[in-house]
Structure 1
């Protein structure tokens, strides 16, 4: 039996660990949340090929009682990966996100036009407190071993020496720093946005959007984008809710979160910003209230791509996964979907490797194959952080007038690799707009 360690119990780490323990809970074991497992299967279970140890910083109880961990959207292809692994535990409870809407901020800072389009496959958002706690319980029910506590860089040599493969799947804190920054793919050396999120109830749906959705409104000040405001529908601990997210350009008028305010203060400041900057959104959000005492999260991150393999002792290597090696700003809404893709790819690489050694060469090849897709997500995310290039302004202007363009842009979020064909590069964007008869000048006229 091959021994595998997964360090980090987030979207990527749990998906991978559970994929390596696919047999389902043993007879009589509790299911996620303490619910009874299915009746005993009288057939003998095959032996597990992997002895998996998961290192998690917090217990399920600590996760549920703590603060929210992120915003997240899982698009159709990512949900299919979870479903195939038997991990879609909340699909029948989470709201089905059926539309994406994008406003356009006019010079007076009020929404002035924009576009929306349906998703070909619905998306969903599940509070990671719900998902993480439930998956931790499921992993233990499947016979996986969980070691609870903080793991630091100094612990990795011992963990790696005790296992055939060690995967580090956390992008937070010192652990991520064991992987060197890849300057070729990391144009930023500091955060491009400060972030404030709150899980709330009491927002209203604007005219033109028929149900659960994601809507995005940029905020412009003196002709320069100061950040973005997002609203999306989600599932939290006690049922459906909405999530509001601010992406503020550091030092700008939306950057008012440095003191790490709690949920009530995040809502109060949000309403003040909306009243001054986005009065249409203020009218929709004025009744919102936090869902619980842990409903807010503020902070910032630096988008970065890191080298995927780290030598933690002479001749001893660990593989990075998910945010540990590819960390994008949430402005593109790709974090959870990208983590699911990374985990599924790593799982296939492990299970398809037979008895071969999990050496440095295998690790590098595994990441290189994943990067062929992940690089498009990074390019798209970074494109959204800077001033919009002329060809992007042309496409967004065309999307407000041509449903075909709006539909293609909205559904591109499900798999940003497709944006390389028509959106991220200026010449291909111009050719696409010409073909669909939607070419417009950069100012939208």
Structure 2
């Protein structure tokens, strides 16, 4: 079972949980609140609902962050990729996608600049290649962790009965820039 909560929101009840017993008890209490999970609560048999073992739970908190993916230190380039420099909540499933995209763009930058030393200018060229995508993923992901905008909730409801709308929403996962624009309605202003 997976519960993702807005920090300090009504479902953010797992702070300070340190043991499997406390986690299991809190999960029982949270799921039993039928106003949040009525379909799930109706399917649970309390006597058989629980963790398989004391290691069978995970709790974490993620603050989305974007770092410039390179630094020059003592004339040495230090390059980062993926979650080490672009950390987002997993709600949109773009952790691996972002890491793969960044790795591909490093490769493309190296090909484009194969005659140049990898220096601050080439590093900046790489960052400029990935910045719009990374910002889009992060801002879209952050928007997904908030209450959905009315127009997005309407689109999702329409998609349940309309294949063309569902297909348009599915494209968001291949092109996070479109998803971000759908949610926020304005173009990206890379930092």
- What TM-score, normalized by structure 2, do the two folds share? 0.75
Among residues 38, 59, 70, which one is paired with 1:298 in the alignment? 59
Separation of aligned partners in 2, 1:334 and 1:374: 10
Separation of aligned partners in 2, 1:306 and 1:402: 39
Mapping of residues 20-419 of structure 1, within 5 Å:
244-263=1-20, 265-276=22-33, 277-284=36-43, 289-290=50-51, 293-313=54-74, 315-350=75-110, 353-354=113-114, 356-419=116-179
Q: Deviations over 1:394-428 (max 9, x none)?
A: 3233234433223322452243233256x234489
RMSD of equivalent CA atoms: 3.0
Structure 2 vs 1, CA of residues 401 and 426 (structure 1 numbering), >3 Å: closer, same or farther? farther
- What TM-score, normalized by structure 1, do the two folds share? 0.36
Structure 2 vs 1, CA of residues 358 and 291 (structure 1 numbering), >3 Å: closer, same or farther? farther
Provide the residue aligned with 1:4 in structure 2.
Answer: none
Separation of aligned partners in 2, 1:385 and 1:335: 15
Greater fraction strand: 1
5+ residue gaps, structure 1, are: 1-243, 429-445
Q: Deviations over 1:210-257 (max 9, x none)?
A: xxxxxxxxxxxxxxxxxxxxxxxxxxxxxxxxxx32221222332222
Separation of aligned partners in 2, 1:404 and 1:427: 23
> Cα offset for 1:334?
1.7
5+ residue gaps, structure 2, are: none
Separation of aligned partners in 2, 1:264 and 1:350: 51
Higher relative contact order (CA 8 A, sep 6+): 1
Structure 2 vs 1, CA of residues 375 and 251 (structure 1 numbering), >3 Å: closer, same or farther? closer
Structure 2 vs 1, CA of residues 353 and 262 (structure 1 numbering), >3 Å: closer, same or farther? farther
Separation of aligned partners in 2, 1:397 and 1:350: 44
Q: Deviations over 1:153-186 (max 9, x none)?
A: xxxxxxxxxxxxxxxxxxxxxxxxxxxxxxxxxx
Separation of aligned partners in 1, 2:22 and 2:174: 33
Q: Kindly name which structure, 1 or 2, has the bigger radius of gyration based on alpha carbons.
A: 1
Provide the residue aligned with 1:40 in structure 2.
Answer: none
